[in-house]
Amino acid sequence: MATKLPKEPVVVIGMGWAGGIIASELTKAGIKVVGLERGKERKMSDYLMVHDELRFQHREELMQDLSKETVTHRNNSKMRALPMRQYGTFIVGDGLGGAGSHWNGQTYRFLPYDFEIKTMTEERYGKNKIKADYPLQNWGITYDELEPYYDTFEKMSGISGETVELYGRRSNPYPTKPMLKTPVLEEFEKAAKKLGYKPYMMPSANLSENYENPDGIARAACQYCAYCENFGCEYGAKADPVVTVLPVAQETGNLDLRTHANVTQILNDGTKATGVIYVDTLTGEEFEQPAEVVVVASYVFNNARLLLNSGLGKPYNPADGTGVIGKNYCYQVSSGYSTLFYNDREFNLYAGAGALGIEIPEFTGDNFDHTNENFIHGAGIRSTQYGNRPIANNNVPIGTPSWGKEFKEQSIKYTNSILQVKSQGASMPHRQNYIDLDPAYKDAYGMPLLRITYDYTEQDKELVKYMAKVTKSIAEEMGPDHIDTVGEQAPFNVNVDTNTHNTGGVIMGAEPETSAINSYQQMWDAENVFVVGASAFPHNSCFNPTGTLGALSYRAAEGIETYLKQGGSLV
Amino acid sequence: MTDNENNQQANTTSTRRAFLKNSGITFGGIVIGGTIGGLLGNVKEEPTEQPAPAPVAEVANPNVALMFFTPDEYQTTNAAVERIFPEDENGPGAMELNAAIYIDHQLASQWGVNAKDYRLGPFYKPEPTQGEQIKLLRQDLFRLGLKRLDNYSSENYEKQFLDLEAEEQDGVLAAFEEGKAGSISGVSTTEFFKLLRQLTLEGVYADPMYGGNKEMLGWEMRKYPGTRMGYINEIQKKDFVELEPNSLQSHMGHS
Ligand SMILES: Cc1cc2nc3c(=O)[nH]c(=O)nc-3n(C[C@H](O)[C@H](O)[C@H](O)COP(=O)(O)OP(=O)(O)OC[C@H]3O[C@@H](n4cnc5c(N)ncnc54)[C@H](O)[C@@H]3O)c2cc1C
Ligand code: SF4
């Protein structure tokens, strides 16, 4: 039997970016918040021993413990889904800060086109451009409406970057200047400019200069230490909930933070939640935490899984397209890229930062004409400099054996002499790509795992082919001795593709028939449940998701405050 | 050029094998790699006739000892990792870099018993897109894989893996890679090969505190500086800036 605790105004499940922002905004407004986090405590000084490629990148020290829970996957509904038993595609966060501690910090806004994608695509290309199997929809909010929240998120985290003409209107410039344009990035810049493009420095949460945010949090500038993606930042230079929103929430005295607290269920009567059940993962003890408002901020996968396991919202049915929970699961499409090999040039590739990169805007969203293309949306074409760590980076020209004498020679020869031109492509929803509960596999607490039914679509394959060609044309202009271009999208493989930019499953929209939540991330079917995170995206854009989910988290916090003040009903 | 290198390789290999046999302690008629076996990587250039002088620095490194392998398994692993990442004009191979010591320590660790993996059943044969569904623990897969290396070598060459010529060892490993060397308790030899390759590269390039990458020579070969507090100056330079490697130990004492 669960021990029943006294009722609290707000309980937040998960202490990553989404949960951290909500906790900080509500506690600043004087509202008591219980923060439940399944993982452990974390603080900046813990990161001093973090420059260890094996432990953090290859043994995934900061990621979720798969012995407790994972996801199952199948490419289509005719297959039996099987669990991802070891780390592959998805490296989901765990512990205070969630994935916000080990992310890269590439912090974009989505395009005005994204928020009204259905309307704008049909207006420009006609009703038939979007094929019947692609349930594309508007987001129920416009870019201009979301703009102030983007601005707040960027100021809180100190995002650096430059204004890009082809992107949405900005009320303010980025709070910090762009990161260093290194000689590596200049190679891309020169070539892109020659081809008539307008390259810009990627917006970054690795601070380009010392910065103090509106909450009074001061952080030091990035040192380009090259242990960023998959690692925590020992300087606090990388924006991370642990060094930004969480200390602010704790300072108020209104946050009751409980780590090692794994939520298994949201208690509800079908229209309203009454609280949550959680397990102390160290002792196995079970607790019931009643609350007036339940905020679900446990990342895309568990956001959908908790709702489904708790019987909240109408599950999506791929057979007839009805229902919403689990609908429009999307990923990202990055298989079109070129690798450039130089015979007598060496670059300082051991140095870098998680969000150090340069990109062109011309092939994103609807910034180019799709009339003659069999796909919509686009990709960011980019070159990055993360710091090439030695276990992960052993690039050899295609056709070289993967071990032995020749492999060793070539991988060492090119260690500091390869560059890449990559693409990060948008992912459109497909009727047959969705998430639901697995009928066979369970987590360590006996709750069904999330099942992902997903494969790349025709749209994705066309997009990859197109973008690969663009990467090749820039690569050629950069003049290396050899170029390998990859441009075929293979089937989705759970242990090969690596990207944790999952979206959808609890999507937002203008009406309850086609969406689960409104633009305040409030559930249509349960007014005191707010589901926050990239699970809200009806499709995934060609940018990293966190800037947008951060903005939506600020909007959700505003909605929760209004809801508590009004004492009920939809905001 | 290529021929010449091959010859050198063959010579080193046979020297190593000869040394192995000479240095083994005979125990009831069985030759055991014994106490000195752990130092093999470093003495291969010694003439076989003379007893190897004790390499002082190595003895002083308490990390070079076995927590998991039997001495025989260690020797087979040493031979295998050297084929994955052989000594050449760039520098030492995986054997000298102590990759087999690294592997020993990893297999003895939590990772060797899949502590952070999802282990609940049922186990089904996956489609190629679904990732490994292996019931064997990593340490068991590796141990059985080593046994399979020997059995496969015996079946095809009438010798143990360790006693094959370098090219023959490559042939055996290639058969393992392609999954054409039988099965390991129902698991494809490809899976063992993948584990071997991954662990070898880790043993060559992981921080030396894990037992491999001896004296950071793996890093030095590719001009990798290991770990520093930052590269804000170097990253702005047009020319390559070569730095002495540092291990994580250099971060101890910071606070
Ligand atoms: C290696 C890597 C690099 C990335 N780089 C970028 C980038 O450059 N730019 C970008 O925009 N995005 C990036 N991302 C994605 C980014 O990290 C996520 O979008 C973001 O952190 C998600 O925030 P969140 O709060 O929704 O979820 P999370 O950060 O995952 O937080 C959810 C929290 O909930 C907890 N939780 C889950 N289930 C439960 C439960 N049942 N009970 C209690 N607690 C629970 C988790 O432990 C976790 O702490 C990257 C991701 C990875 C893995
Ligand atoms: S690269 Fe910069 S932001 Fe990233 S961890 Fe290093 S110092 Fe921090």
| ipTM summary value | 0.95
Dihedral sign from CA coordinates of A420, A426, A431, A433: positive
Nearest ligand to the CA of B230 is 2
Contacts of A467 (CB under 8 A, 6+ apart): A336, A363, A378, A379, A381, A423, A425, A487
Length of chain B: 255
| Long-range contacts, stretch A305-309, CB < 8 angstroms, 24+ apart | A305/A437, A305/A447, A305/A448, A305/A449, A305/A450, A306/A13, A306/A263, A306/A265, A306/A266, A307/A266, A307/A506, A307/A516, A307/A531, A308/A436, A308/A437, A308/A448, A308/A450, A309/A264, A309/A265, A309/A437, A309/A447, A309/A448
What type of residue is A344?
A: D
* pLDDT band at A393; cut points 50, 70, 90: very high
Cross-chain CB nearest to A405 (options B88, B118, B219): B88
Name the closest-CA residue to atom 6, ligand 2.
A225
Helix, coil or strand: residue B148: helix
**pLDDT of res. B163:** 97
Q: What is the CA radius of gyration of chain A?
A: 23
What type of residue is A106?
A: Q
Which mutation among A22, A24, A38, A102 tests ligand 1's pocket best, with the greatest number of atoms within 8 A of CB?
A38
Helix, coil or strand: residue A10: strand
A448 near B CB under 8 A: no
Q: Mind listing the pLDDT tens digit for each residue in A324-379?
A: 999 999 999 999 999 999 999 999 999 999 999 999 999 999 999 999 999 999 99
* pLDDT band at A570; cut points 50, 70, 90: confident
What type of residue is A487?
A: G
* pLDDT band at A88; cut points 50, 70, 90: confident
Q: CA distances (Å), A243 to each of A46, A96, A152, A232, A308, in order?
A: 12, 10, 17, 11, 33
Structural contact between residues B230 and A223, judged by C-beta atoms closer than 8 angstroms: yes
- Segments of B171-239 assigned E as strands: 183-184, 187-188
A299 lines ligand 1 (CB under 6 A): yes
Say yes or no to pLDDT of A248 above 50: yes
Q: Per-residue b/e over B148-184, b at no fewer than 16 CB within 10 Å? A: bbbebbeeebeebbbbbebeebbebbbbbbeeebeeb
Which of A24-33, A455-464, B39-48 has the lowest average pLDDT? Answer: B39-48
A14 lines ligand 1 (CB under 6 A): yes
Locate the ligand 1 atom nearest the alpha carbon of residue A546 and give its number. 11
A145 near B CB under 8 A: no
A361 lines ligand 1 (CB under 6 A): no
Nearest ligand to the CA of A234 is 2
**pLDDT of res. B59:** 55
Tokens linked to A82: 């099987």
List, in sequence order, every residue forming a beta bridge with A263; answer none if it has no partner: A278
Beta-carbon separation of A224 and B131 below 8 A: no
Place of tokens 């995002």: A159
Say yes or no to pLDDT of B143 above 50: yes
Q: How far apart are CA A413 and CA A420, in angstroms?
A: 16
How near does any CA of chain B get to the CA of A445, in Å? 12
Nearest ligand to the CA of A551 is 1
Give A375's Cβ-side CA count (13 Å radius): 26
Q: Read off the pLDDT of each residue in A108-132 and give the average, rounded to a whole number.
A: 97
Cβ burial of B49 (10 Å; 0-12, 13-18, 19+) is: exposed
Helix, coil or strand: residue A358: strand
Tokens linked to A222: 């990035």
Q: How far apart are CA A362 and CA B181, in angstroms?
A: 51
Helix, coil or strand: residue B22: helix
> Which of A312, A336, A335 lies closest to A527, judged by CA?
A312
Contacts of B140 (CB under 8 A, 6+ apart): none
Catalytic residue among A102, A377, A430, A501: A501
Q: Mind listing the pLDDT tens digit for each residue in A160-195?
A: 999 999 999 999 999 999 999 999 999 999 999 999
Structural contact between residues B26 and B80, judged by C-beta atoms closer than 8 angstroms: no
Pairing verdict, β A357-360 and A418-425 = unpaired
* Chain A residue closest in CA terms to B110: A59
A83 near B CB under 8 A: yes
Q: Residues of A with CB below 8 A from B210's CB?
A: 54
Place of tokens 């973008």: A467
**pLDDT of res. B21:** 37
Query: DSSP characters for A532-569?
Result: -SGGG-SSB-SS-SHHHHHHHHHHHHHHHHHHHHHTSS
Pairing verdict, β A3-4 and A357-360 = unpaired
pTM of the model: 0.93
Structural contact between residues A512 and A299, judged by C-beta atoms closer than 8 angstroms: no
Say yes or no to pLDDT of A306 above 80: yes
Helix, coil or strand: residue B164: coil
Interface list for B 20-79 with A (CB within 8 A): none
* pLDDT band at A571; cut points 50, 70, 90: confident
Query: DSSP characters for A462-475?
Result: HHHHHHHHHHHHHH
A382 lines ligand 1 (CB under 6 A): no
Interface list for A 262-321 with B (CB within 8 A): none
Beta-carbon separation of B248 and A51 below 8 A: yes
How near does any CA of chain B get to the CA of A529, in Å? 30
Which mutation among A500, A535, A553, A554 tests ligand 1's pocket best, with the greatest number of atoms within 8 A of CB?
A500
Locate the ligand 1 atom nearest the alpha carbon of residue A20 and give its number. 25
- How remote is the CA of residue B200 from the centroid of ligand 1, in Å? 31
Structural contact between residues A526 and A271, judged by C-beta atoms closer than 8 angstroms: yes
Say yes or no to pLDDT of B1 above 60: no
* Chain A residue closest in CA terms to B239: A347
Q: CA distances (Å), A499 to each of A89, A332, B9, B118, in order?
A: 6, 7, 41, 20
How near does any CA of chain B get to the CA of A271, in Å? 34
**pLDDT of res. A365:** 98
Locate the ligand 1 atom nearest the alpha carbon of residue A98 and give its number. 49
Q: Residues of A with CB below 8 A from B235's CB?
A: 180, 182, 224, 348, 351-352, 385
Give A457's Cβ-side CA count (13 Å radius): 25
- Segments of chain B assigned E as strands: 25-27, 30-32, 183-184, 187-188
**pLDDT of res. B52:** 53
**pLDDT of res. B55:** 52
Say yes or no to pLDDT of A55 above 70: yes
Say yes or no to pLDDT of B17 above 90: no
Locate the ligand 2 atom nearest the alpha carbon of residue A50 and give its number. 5
Pairing verdict, β A448-453 and A71-74 = parallel
Q: Mind listing the pLDDT tens digit for each residue in B70-108?
A: 999 999 999 999 999 999 999 999 999 999 999 999 999
Pocket (CB within 6 angstroms of ligand 2)? A 206, 222-225, 227-228, 231, 233, 235, 237-238, 353-354
A60 lines ligand 1 (CB under 6 A): no
Say yes or no to pLDDT of A530 above 50: yes
* Chain B residue closest in CA terms to A56: B206
A446 near B CB under 8 A: no
Name the closest-CA residue to atom 8, ligand 2.
A233
How near does any CA of chain B get to the CA of A414, in Å? 9
CA end-to-end distance (rounded Å), chain B: 52
Say yes or no to pLDDT of A561 above 60: yes
A121 lines ligand 1 (CB under 6 A): no
- How remote is the CA of residue A392 from the centroid of ligand 2, in Å? 18
A58 included as an active-site residue: no
Structural contact between residues A396 and A407, judged by C-beta atoms closer than 8 angstroms: yes
Q: How far apart are CA A379 and CA B128, in angstroms?
A: 28
Q: Is A505 left (phi over 0), alpha (psi -120 to 50) or beta?
A: left
Structural contact between residues A182 and A208, judged by C-beta atoms closer than 8 angstroms: no
**pLDDT of res. B252:** 87
* pLDDT band at B35; cut points 50, 70, 90: very low
Structural contact between residues A418 and A430, judged by C-beta atoms closer than 8 angstroms: no
Say yes or no to pLDDT of A235 above 80: yes
Place of tokens 């282990």: B119
Residue A350 CA, chain-centre distance (Å), reads: 26
* pLDDT band at B178; cut points 50, 70, 90: very high
List, in sequence order, every residue forming a beta bridge with A485; answer none if it has no partner: A338
* pLDDT band at B253; cut points 50, 70, 90: confident
Locate the ligand 2 atom nearest the alpha carbon of residue A233 and give its number. 5
Helix, coil or strand: residue A366: coil
**pLDDT of res. B54:** 53
CA end-to-end distance (rounded Å), chain A: 36
Say yes or no to pLDDT of A527 above 70: yes
Q: Mind listing the pLDDT tens digit for each residue in B148-165?
A: 999 999 999 999 999 999
* pLDDT band at A568; cut points 50, 70, 90: confident
* pLDDT band at B61; cut points 50, 70, 90: confident
> Which of A59, A17, A61 lies closest to A37, judged by CA?
A17
Q: Residues of B with CB below 8 A from A394's CB?
A: 201
